[in-house]
Amino acid sequence: MEKLKKMAGVTAAQYVKDGMVVGLGTGSTAYFFVEEIGRRMKEEGLKVVGVTTSSQTTAQAEGLGIPLKAVDDIDVIDVTVDGADEVDKNFNGIKGGGGALLMEKIVATPSKEYIWVVDESKMVDKLGAFKLPVEVVQYGADRIFREFEKKGYKPSYRMADGERFVTDMKNYIIDLDLGVIENPVEFGKELKAMVGVVEHGLFNGMVNKVIVAGKDGVKILEAK
Ligand code: 5RP
């Protein structure tokens, strides 16, 4: 699995050219992309500026000596490479397994090219087997939780060390055990309409390319 993740991450780094502003994703697959950017800077003299999607990636990028800018200080990101938890045939996906979905979506939005790096186990017919992360403000979170229960969405709080996990943006994450999401676009709208929901992990139609690493090599899927 590590090998597949590395293959996907290293392949994605080929889309990064000198002088680009690059969105640096979060998670165990995006990790290899960030490492490869660091290697190219050191060994090939590549010059880029990074915009990170989590405190975890910031620490990694700083360790590699990648110069960083805040998302507020750039107009456009040339290319962002990130992982995903599930991807369907319509290029909709679930993200947020690593708890960084809000920053990831904010960085993805001004990106001219948005690429996901995944191993083949992430490719699915329908989204929803992976629990859908929903980022909510702490104030009133239990009310949203109870609303999700009433709707039958089987919510659970994301936990870390026995406490509720708090995101980099100081919010909670509620994971929804939905089984299948028949209409990700409509479901995303429903979640966004709930007061107190900051963002959800459905990234619908945002991605341009999905780099899938599998036993038979790397496939590059392009969205139309
Ligand atoms: C973090 C994410 C990750 O990109 C996603 O969870 C995939 O991670 P991994 O490559 O470790 O499976 O969305 O919030």
pLDDT tens, 76-91? 999 999 999 999 999 9
Q: Which atom of ligand 1 is nearest to the CA of 97?
A: 6
Question: Is there a domain that residue 43 lies in?
Answer: yes
Whether 223 maps to a domain, the answer reads no
Q: Which of 104, 147, 182, 186 is catalytic?
A: 104
Does the beta carbon of 50 sit less than 6 angstroms from any atom of ligand 1?
no
Q: In the chain, pLDDT over 70 holds for what percent of residues?
A: 100
**pLDDT at residue 54 greater than cutoff 90:** yes
Q: How deeply is 165 buried, as exposed, middle or buried, from its count of CB atoms within 10 A (0-12, 13-18, 19+)?
A: middle
Strand-pairing partners, residue 176, are 132, 155
163 and 74 both lie in a single domain: no
Would you put residue 170 in left (φ > 0), alpha (ψ -120 to 50) or beta?
A: left
- What domain range is 57 assigned to? 1-122+204-215
pLDDT digits (tens, 9 = 90+) for 164-200: 999 999 999 999 999 999 999 999 999 999 999 999 9
Residue 224: per-residue pLDDT: 83
pLDDT for the residue 1:
86
Number of H helices, E strands in the chain: 6, 15
Q: How far is the CA of 116 from the centre of ligand 1 (A)?
A: 10
Amino acid, res. 183: N
Residue (of 201, 211, 223) closest to 6 by Cα position = 211
Any catalytic annotation for residue 104? yes
Whether 163 and 90 map to the same domain: the answer is no
CA atoms of 152 and 160, how far apart (whole Å)? 24
Residue 221 resides in a domain: no
The CATH number of residue 190's host domain is 3.30.70.260
**Which tokens hold the place of 133?**
């992360």
Residue in the structure block whose two tokens are 């993740």: 5
**Is 167 annotated among the ligand-binding residues?**
no
Query: Tell me, what CATH number does 45's domain have?
Result: 3.40.50.1360
Phi, psi angles (nearest 5°) of residue 52: -95, 160
